[in-house]
Copies of this chain bind each other. A is one copy, B any other.
Amino acid sequence: MSKTAAIIGGGVIGGGWAARFLLNGWDVQVFDPDPDAKRKIDEVLANARRALPMLYDCALPEEGSLRFCGSIAEAVADADWVQESVSERLALKHKVFAEIQAENPGALIGSSTSGFMPSQLQEGAAEPGRIMVTHPFNPVYLMPLIEVVPSPATSADAVAQACEMLTSLGLYPLKVRKEIDAHIADRFLEAVWREALWLVKDGIATTEEIDNAIRYGFGLRWGQMGLFETYRVAGGEAGMRHFMAQFGPALEWPWTKLMDVPDFTDELVDMIAEQSDAQSGHLSIRELERKRDGNLVAMIRALRQQGNAAGRLVNEHQRAVARLPEPDAPLVTQDRVVPVDWTDINGHMNEGRYGQLFSDAAEVVMAMVGADEEYVTRGMSYFTVETTVKYLAETHAGERVIVETEVTEGAGKKLRCFHTMKRESDGETMATCDQLMVHVSLETRRSCLPTEDVAAKVAGLAASSKET
């Protein structure tokens, strides 16, 4: 049975939460008194529908239903989770929590606040133990980090339920041990923002030069390892203690400089706004969002392939949501969206990616017959020896495609598949692939017979294909 999330407060953050829930099969009920709320959330949803499914090599659960409600009470009545993303005014948040808990006293409530600690949020609440901070990062539909911050009054059970729910959405709940101002990540963002304001104000660097200093330098390191592991590597074989002994004193002197805050004057605001216009003003915000999302999808997919960092999180989430097809011919061995990193100079899916799609389809067949990852660790697998691909129609990023597979030969060392790739929306055939595989020993790298168990399943699939 599908679950229901209540989103109190729309906008970019609330809309991002709504998208995360919807695209993971939850029903969503939104309350936001802003007459523009529906338009704003629809815009975020359009971005999310394009980007999030591209992270995965399988179809996500069927999208849930989205309903706009006329009151908080209506939105939260039957909600399994309430996400509050209203303006950063404490009195407003207290009023919202009171209304939520009057209607649904047991509801789990997460606040997107970056400015308040959970103990502040809980002041005067009927059920303080159900309230915690669940602080996301923009774009919420792509960024995995959620800072989960309980106060001592938050129930441990509520926190455990929250972490389980967030993980099921493909998010990474980082439980913060003690509540502090600005949680964890924003502490770093504040420190960097302060330094950046000084550099612009003092004419050392423009906004574009600062962005380049970040994205061509430590930004790349931090996207995959973070701060301490990066420095551990820099310290070499002697490890972290050595790094600190070596660099600790050298790092000390700049600590004492420029720790005060530049005045947030109109001149400084003008300077930054003008530099930012010069840097990015030729692109609209929508174009910048598309660019950002394309970059993030491609980078996270690259990390998926390496099995590290944010990519590892998506791999785990995919394992949780992907299902093997029913063993009825034709097998639906792929059901996925074409990601942005599969297109080429002609603006359509590169021919090599058709091969990858069919290869992925074959891996599903292998999993079905028991020639899976565990089988590979036992030293056996199927290798492809020949493929013939016919390209019949163009495919573009964002299109949902399926592959139907028939096992046309399955005896001895041979496993032969005929794959048909179709556009999901209208069933048009876009390409076909005749693929011959041979069973191999990973020790000798030569062909050999599969185990009896695998052989029987291969024969079964081949027989069921013949029947159709």
Contact = CB atoms under 8 A, between A and B. Distances in A.
Copies in the complex: 2
Interface stretch (A62-70, A154-162, A338-346, A417-425): A338-346
Nearest to A88: B250
Contacts of A387: 351, 387-389, 391
Interface string A123-145: 00000000000000110000111
Q: Bin the interface of chain A by size.
A: 35 or more
Interface in A247-304: 248-261, 264, 269-270, 272-273, 275-277, 279-281, 284-285, 288-289, 291-292, 294-296, 298-303
Contacts of A249: 264
Interface in A170-223: 172, 174, 176-178, 180-182, 184-196, 198-199, 202-205, 207-223
Given A137-B221, A184-B209, A387-B391, 14 more contacts: A88-B250, A174-B212, A178-B202, A178-B204, A181-B254, A184-B213, A212-B226, A229-B276, A239-B273, A239-B281, A240-B272, A351-B384, A355-B356, A394-B445
A359 interface: yes
A85 to B, nearest CB: 14
A167 to B, nearest CB: 12
Interface stretch (A103-111, A308-316, A324-332, A455-463): A308-316
A391 B435 CA distance: 11
A419 to B, nearest CB: 12
B269 A244 contact: yes
A386 interface: yes
